[in-house]
Structure 1
Amino acid sequence: MQTFNLEGEFIPMIQLLKALNWVEHGGMAQRMVDEGLVKYNGEVDYRKRLKVRKGDVVEFDGMKVQII
């Protein structure tokens, strides 16, 4: 599992997917969330503007990241 160092209070899910280079652009990130391919703390979450915070775990396409 990789880690992502959060520099503020939160990061929107779509921005996180882009920052990790898990997707090529925002439109692709939105599609992945819409299709239920992203897990947030072990559960599929369809909210594109979900505020990901420290301590959260996000999973996508066999990859997993812990927010620190």
Structure 2
Amino acid sequence: MAVDGLYERLADSGYVYGPVFQGLRAVWRAERDVYAEVTLSEHVEADGFGLHPAALDAALHPIGLAGLL
């Protein structure tokens, strides 16, 4: 699934994500499973987190993109 322009389209719908929370890079499906590639910006300090909140947030974006709701 294409993620190019995703955050711009979300902003047009009223969902504005700051740069730290724009970590979704790729989404794909394999039958009923949905996979996502998520990254943190290189300037984000991740120490002290088991899972950084921005990475968790970006990992949830495919729920809407894949039509899972």
Same fold (TM over 0.5): no
More helix per residue? 2
Which structure has the larger Rg over C-alpha atoms? 2
Structure number with higher relative contact order (C-alpha < 8 Å, ≥ 6 residues apart): 1
TM-score (norm 2): 0.30
Normalized per residue, the structure richer in strand is: 1
